[in-house]
Amino acid sequence: MANLGFPGLALGIGILVAAGLLQSGVLAPDADYALPLLTLLIVNEFGFFVTAIGAGIGINAMLNRGVRPPVLLLTLGCAVLAAGFLYLGIRLWPGMT
């Protein structure tokens, strides 16, 4: 079994952060959030950095040790979540919608 390390942990944390953000109403069209905007931005930024670092570590592992399917899937998952957090952060920023 492959050692999935930080990319697996980053993907799990990213999914939990994304679920928490979605539960707080960040995609609501009326901007009626369950948490203060600054809190949402900080949590979103944390999710972005964790998943972006997870994707970077996964890419580095694939370059050094070759492409293995579990690491590839975790890296892609982290990259997709990082892109989603980036989009959400831009969308949350006041005046950017």
Which phi and psi (to 5°) does residue 63 adopt?
Answer: -70, -35
- CA distances (Å), origin 93, targets 36, 49, 57, 85: 12, 17, 28, 12
Q: What is the pTM of this model?
A: 0.88
pLDDT of residue 10: 95
**DSSP secondary structure letters along 67-84:** --HHHHHHHHHHHHHHHH
* pLDDT-based confidence at residue 33 (cuts at 50, 70, 90): confident
Amino acid at 88: L
Q: Per residue in 44-94, pLDDT tens?
A: 999 999 999 999 999 999 999 888 899 999 999 999 999 999 999 998 887
pLDDT of residue 13: 96
Can you say whether the dihedral through the CA atoms of 33, 35, 37, 42 is positive or negative?
negative
